[in-house]
Amino acid sequence: MEILTDSPVAEIRIANGRAQGVALENGDEYSARVVVSNAAPGITFRDLIDARHLPETFLGELGRFRSKGSAFKINLAMEQPPRYRGFDPQVAGIELPAYAHIGPTTAYLERAFDEAKYGGYSSKPFISPITPSLIDDSLAPAGKHVVTLYGGVAPYDLEGTSWEAEKDRFVQIVLDTMEDFAPGFSDSIIAMDAMVPPDIERILNIPGGHELHGDCAVDQLFMMRPVPGYADYRSPIRNLYQCGASTHPGGAVSCVPGHNAAREILSDWRSRKPD
């Protein structure tokens, strides 16, 4: 088996209502009896397939799939791990936590969402800082650390302004919030890479930059993910399957969508002759 990386797909080739393979952006073509996509549905069904191959009702439902993200991620190289004001090693029984949550009260979380509800970003964001180098010292040079800050709320669309104009200010707000809870945090930064939803959209090719490919809300889960009628990893095109975060049970590094898709593909494979 050969695994190709850095090989963007330009088109899923379809004939007689059946997926036949893929064409890469570099012009290479691959024939296949089954095509399985973990790309976001906006990519699989809008960018890679000509609309004439898909039912209008399916495309209409897909158009209503909410996929605008509101999470930020900041990756940092640090001199030291965060040392939280509120963390007591005696009580916890460990020197430092590798995983923390900054969101001290439900009112704090509510206010963070309120600002986003009206087209802004949180002036007091909630943050999950993670320091994996406390557990795995191969992740950073001796004595140094890597920290990721994941949190919100940083909506894809900002009212009356843009992330180009606001990103530096928002990143400073996140760092100031860290400083409030872990004094000395900013002085310890060696290097930083910050992402808001338009960056996630660009880097991962997820329309809307939603880190889970789409909202995990009750109307977009279970038998409605990504759309009713096609929530079983199949698609309107025979031999084309979906296996990504936009299928049940949704995003996160669970591998469950891929596992379930493989089960359905094998079931179809065994119950009918391959085309």
Ligand X SMILES: Cc1cc2nc3c(=O)[nH]c(=O)nc-3n(C[C@H](O)[C@H](O)[C@H](O)COP(=O)(O)OP(=O)(O)OC[C@H]3O[C@@H](n4cnc5c(N)ncnc54)[C@H](O)[C@@H]3O)c2cc1C
Provide the binding-site residues for ligand X, judged by CB under 6 A. Answer: 8-9, 38-39, 43, 73, 150, 200, 204-206, 211-212, 244-245, 251-253
The least CB distance from residue 38 to ligand X, in Å, is 4
Take residue 222 and report the two structure tokens written for it: 């279970």
The least CB distance from residue 264 to ligand X, in Å, is 16
The smaller minimum CB distance to ligand X, of residues 37 and 177, is found at: 37
The smaller minimum CB distance to ligand X, of residues 157 and 187, is found at: 157
In sequence order, the β-bridge partners of residue 147 are: 76
The smaller minimum CB distance to ligand X, of residues 42 and 81, is found at: 42
The least CB distance from residue 258 to ligand X, in Å, is 7
The least CB distance from residue 223 to ligand X, in Å, is 19
The least CB distance from residue 252 to ligand X, in Å, is 3
The smaller minimum CB distance to ligand X, of residues 120 and 201, is found at: 201
The smaller minimum CB distance to ligand X, of residues 8 and 57, is found at: 8
Q: Are 39 and 48 in contact (CB under 8 A)?
A: yes
